[in-house]
Structure 1
Amino acid sequence: MKTPAGPRARSRASKTSTGPRTRFGAWLARPLASFHLIVTIAILLTVLGLVMVLSASSVEAYADTGSAYGMFATQVIFAALGAVLFYVALRMPVRLMRKLALPGYVASLVMLVLVLIPGIGKESGGARRWFEFGGLSFQPSELAKVALVIWGAHLLASRRAEHASLKELVIPLVPAALIAFALVVMQPNLSTTIALGIILAALLWFAGLPLKLFLGIITTGGAIAVVLAFTAGYRSARVKAFLNPGDDPQGIGYQGRQAKFSLADGGLFGRGLGQSRAKWSYLPNAHNDFIFAIIGEELGFIGCLAVIILLALFVFAGLRIAMRSIDPFLRLLTATATTWILAQAMINIGYVIGLLPVTGLQLPLVSAGGSSIAITLLMFGIIANAARHEPEAVAALHAGQDGRFARLLRLPKPEQYSPERAEAARRAAQAKAAQKRAAQQRAAQQRAAQERAAQRRLAEAPRRQAPARGRPADPRRGDARGRQALPSDERTRRSSGRTGERGFRR
């Protein structure tokens, strides 16, 4: 009996059994693999979302406007805007991003205030959440998510570098986030408040907050969310429909039941693209909150699995970028953004399949919603920018391994993060701030001294000008300054006793 030729046969068998895995591992070992993975996932999810929005919204759009492409056209416009934001975020230097972090968050808070003012914010369905410009609406709470991610990562990374105390880590961030929470709740918009809470929790977790304090904050936030869920009629009705789905099948429980019917109707391979029956006014918000049900009906279990695989690859790439980054700011930023997008997708899929109460959070890059797709693409661009700042990626880009994609977009070469340079920049910023504070203190002291001197002069002026008590003023003597100010001939005339036409009598 012939036997295999020892090591050569085993090597050949090993290559055959692990070939695809080895090829995928070799591709991941490339310096720009994370960057290409993020860009590819963003493109695939956006294209899938546009196709499904066209399919799910065509019937409702035709019934409302007479055109099946109305909602789809709006989604395309915002997707194009998101592509521009993606490119801007991809080119933005990290230092500029950190410099604009605080002004961006303050601007988002100002917009959250303005949208609540009647006549400025647009009201729809009992909620005031949108700015409207030329027929297009923008939701500032979506921008607040990105602003909180960037500013929170910048703040915590800076405080960690300064070895700040626990109080200094929590106090600036949590109160500022609570202000945004309160403004969003006033719209009202509990779903976005939940997303902002997830962002805050992820920032504190990845910043290394002690477990006891972290659990205390999470418990408090969960209790507040439960209270808010039962304070409004429509929110409490959603929770009751989740707890007792069969109580009102034609009322509040109708939407959830129809979503399950759509998923079941799709089977393994689906009814075919564009062949959904639920979108014919059987499933409300089929193009928005419940688009995952339409994916399941038209593309089947395979289509739903493809979406989940793309989201899983995004999470893998995002956490990989976070672990490979040596810049604390980019590490915290990428991990938090990945957690936020994953949690939002899980909540959306969870309430479509009946595992969670309906909250209204959209499926990132897939659900209809102009503000959502534009801001999510902006966040994807920031994550892709962080991928280009991995140490191996920086070295490859400076060595000329840009690739056709980077050369086509004319992307600038990223700067290598240096802890020494970052520490020197931080110290220089601290010294500049200290000099500014010292200059302000000196200016304040000078103003106070000038004010005290002015007050003393005002207090002494009446004593100098008032005549001595008990002695009447002599009009002949006058004032010494007055005598010195008189011309010489006038003084002579006064002293000799002569009087002129306008002279003084002795």
Structure 2
Amino acid sequence: MLGHLKKTNLLLIFVILLLCGFGLVMVYSASDVIGAQKFGDSAYFFHKQRTSIVLGLCIFVIAACTPYKKYERLAPILVAGSLFLLVLVFIPGIGVERNFSRRWIGVGPLVVQPSELCKIAMIIYFAAIYTRKQPYIHQFFKGVLPPLLILGAVFLLTLLEPDLGTASLMLAACGAILLCAGLKKRHLLLLGLTAFSAVGYLAFSASYRLKRLVSFTNPFNDANGDGYQLIQSYYAISSGGFFGKGLGNSVEKMNYLPEAQTDFIMAVISEELGILGVLIVLGLYFSFMLLGVRTAVRTPDLFGKLLAVGITFQLMFQAVLNLGAMSGLLPVTGVPLPFISYGGSSLMMNLFLCGVLVNISGFIPKHQFNGKAAFAGRHKKETF
């Protein structure tokens, strides 16, 4: 296993570690006030995040040392298990309700969020199933539709929690895999329009989602209600300037900006480290995306290519949703910023995905580093 790690993309590992380390520092800076007020310890959230990073890095190393092709055989079991856990969320006594949402399963002191596991399972399942369906990938009802029914079931169960943000992330990641799997253009167009229409309908069909949409377009119409959080984010962003107020000197984290250490941690980064800090974070994410795409392009087998695409774009879509909400360009969905926001289960699952991506990078033959690999499948018609 250690011999395999020597062949992996060390730059990719370095970027992941930088993001986690930077996130740990910013979680402490953004949460010291609320930690002291609620728990009598300014480092309360820091200690919990540090523990999550240590556990996540252990998971990362195990995933990086496990040949990614093993997941192809486990794909049906992972999806079945995910569906089972999603159903358990709605069973009284097992499902845990917080803030009018049922997204967790509690067994004693252990609390698990099944939707985080589902994001992983669906990426693996879609990469595996569309690799197997290459001989009839151009036949919609035989080669394309059946896995989409499974995705639809997972999407609806996640939506009922309710968690439109996570459900949308699963759609986006699976959509990226479909885009690279060799489907006909008209099938892709049909699926894209269907997904867009479904998400649009669901966004407007519930009153609380509609209020979020209205508040994000003009938060000052409800400055003390649904628009309050976004307005405070604007204050944080506008007061940072180019170099910021300095690490730890945020004013907004002092009970003005809700969820400063989670969903809106980037606003605190902007306030304390300024535009320069934001550019550094964006540069790290852009580097991760480039390294992930390069891994996908150069991986010799289709399953590895599709798996790398799904992992890379799920994490990037998550970052886009969070940054868009923080800046007022997208509605607030409650999606954390990957590697940086406070949150144990999300962080550990993301590090697992990164471990799989690192493992994939270790199987790239040396002659493939000319960047000419193609998303060929068996027919070799579609290129990346």
1:465-504 aligned at under 5 Å gives the runs none
1:299 aligns with 2:266: no
Instruction: Tell me the CA shift for residue 169 of structure 1.
Output: 2.4
Match among 12, 16, 20 for residue 46 of structure 1 = 20
Instruction: Tell me the CA shift for residue 393 of structure 1.
Output: 8.5
1:293-336 CA-partner distances (Å, limit 9, x unpaired)? 01111111111100100010011101111111111100111112
Q: Distance in 2 between matches of 1:183 and 1:140?
A: 11
Instruction: Tell me the CA shift for residue 135 of structure 1.
Output: 4.4
Match among 319, 333, 347 for residue 321 of structure 2 = 347
Could you tell me whether the CA contact under 8 Å between 1:206 and 1:336 is conserved in 2? no
Question: Per the alignment, do residues 390 and 114 of structure 1 end up closer, same or farther by CA in structure 2, a change over 3 Å counting?
Answer: same
Q: Distance in 2 between matches of 1:67 and 1:235?
A: 35
Question: Per the alignment, do residues 305 and 217 of structure 1 end up closer, same or farther by CA in structure 2, a change over 3 Å counting?
Answer: same
Residue 186 of structure 2: aligned partner: 212
Residue 226 of structure 1: aligned partner: 200
Q: Distance in 1 between matches of 2:49 and 2:243?
A: 27
Q: Distance in 2 between matches of 1:372 and 1:360?
A: 12
Query: Which is higher, the Rg of structure 1 or of structure 2?
Result: 1
Letter paired with 2:174: L
1:240 aligns with 2:214: yes
Q: Distance in 1 between matches of 2:19 and 2:131?
A: 31
Match among 135, 143, 155 for residue 169 of structure 1 = 143
Could you tell me whether the CA contact under 8 Å between 2:30 and 2:253 is conserved in 1? yes
Residue 358 of structure 2: aligned partner: 384
Residue 297 of structure 2: aligned partner: 323
Match among 30, 40, 43 for residue 66 of structure 1 = 40
Structure 2 residues without counterparts, runs of 5 or longer: 370-375, 379-384
Letter paired with 1:384: V
- RMSD, aligned α-carbons: 2.1
Question: Per the alignment, do residues 167 and 296 of structure 1 end up closer, same or farther by CA in structure 2, a change over 3 Å counting?
Answer: same
Residue 82 of structure 2: aligned partner: 108
Is the partner of 2:219 in helix, strand or coil?
coil
Instruction: Tell me the CA shift for residue 164 of structure 1.
Output: 7.0
1:119 aligns with 2:93: yes
Q: Distance in 2 between matches of 1:262 and 1:349?
A: 14
% same residue: 37
Could you tell me whether the CA contact under 8 Å between 1:230 and 1:236 is conserved in 2? yes
Residue 309 of structure 2: aligned partner: 335
1:480-499 CA-partner distances (Å, limit 9, x unpaired)? xxxxxxxxxxxxxxxxxxxx
Q: Distance in 2 between matches of 1:84 and 1:355?
A: 36
Could you tell me whether the CA contact under 8 Å between 1:113 and 1:183 is conserved in 2? yes
Residue 175 of structure 2: aligned partner: 201
Letter paired with 2:296: A
Q: Distance in 2 between matches of 1:132 and 1:55?
A: 30
What TM-score, normalized by structure 1, do the two folds share? 0.69
How many residue pairs get matched? 367
Question: Per the alignment, do residues 134 and 47 of structure 1 end up closer, same or farther by CA in structure 2, a change over 3 Å counting?
Answer: farther
Q: Distance in 2 between matches of 1:188 and 1:155?
A: 28
Letter paired with 1:290: F
Residue 381 of structure 2: aligned partner: none
Q: Distance in 1 between matches of 2:165 and 2:324?
A: 14
217-226 or 186-195: which moved more? 217-226
What TM-score, normalized by structure 2, do the two folds share? 0.91
Structure 1 stretches of at least 4 aligned residues deviating more than 4 Å after TM superposition: 31-34, 133-136, 161-164
Instruction: Tell me the CA shift for residue 133 of structure 1.
Output: 5.0
Structure 1 residues without counterparts, runs of 5 or longer: 1-30, 396-418, 423-506
